[in-house]
Amino acid sequence: MKIMVINGPNLNLLGTREPEMYGDTTLETIETRLASLAHELDVELEFVQSNSEGELIDHIHRAGTRADGIVINPAAYTHYSIAIRDALAAVSAPAVEVHMTNVHGREPFRRRSVVSAVCVGGLWGFGAATYEGALRLLVDGLNADEIS
């Protein structure tokens, strides 16, 4: 089984970006932790990060043909990118939406997600560990044939 982990804009700056909000764990550390969980779950991961909407869409398209599932933190694009929403809807690989912070407890504009409706589910608010929770839930669901 192969899962693509896609991170959107500004997440390359994790570790130094607003640490009071996002903590001090870098994206590299998050990916290392995910790689070790993937080993335990016996799945293959591919990591991508981009600050550009078009590149993220291209990654989603590739996931559609190369992966069994997607873990995605679309970052700010979550709240307004219909193009990313449409890309997720266009591919058959099921996606889980991830946010490190509790987006529902922040500014009103973060409470709206245009991608949630085309994801199988979402997880937010647990900091760096949110990614691991999402990966576990996605893989368990795929293994049990409860997600497609």
Query: Known catalytic residues?
Result: 22, 99
CB-nearer residue toward ligand DQA: 2 or 9: 9
Helix axes 27-41, 129-143, angle to 10 degrees: 30
Please tell me whether residue 99 binds ligand DQA under the rule CB under 6 A: yes
- Note whether 6 binds ligand DQA by CB under 6 A: no
Q: Which of 62, 91, 101, 141: binder of ligand DQA (CB under 6 A)?
A: 101
Residue 56's closest CA among 74, 71, 41, 32? 74
Residues 69-88 within binding reach of ligand DQA (CB under 6 A): 73, 75-76, 78
Amino acid at 136: R
Q: Does 51 bind ligand DQA (CB under 6 A)?
A: no
**Alpha carbon distances (Å) from 35 to 30, 39, 59, 87:** 9, 6, 19, 25
106 contacts 113 by C-beta, under 8 angstroms: no
Asked if 50 is part of the footprint of ligand DQA (rule: CB under 6 A), the reply reads: no
Q: Is 94 helix (H, G, I), strand (E, B) or coil?
A: coil
Residue 70 C-beta: closest distance to ligand DQA, Å: 15
Residue from 100, 115, 118, 123 in contact with ligand DQA (CB under 6 A) = 100
The HSE-up count of residue 64 (CA atoms within 13 Å, CB side) is 13
Binding residues for ligand DQA, rule: CB under 6 A, are 10, 73, 75-76, 78, 99-101, 103, 110
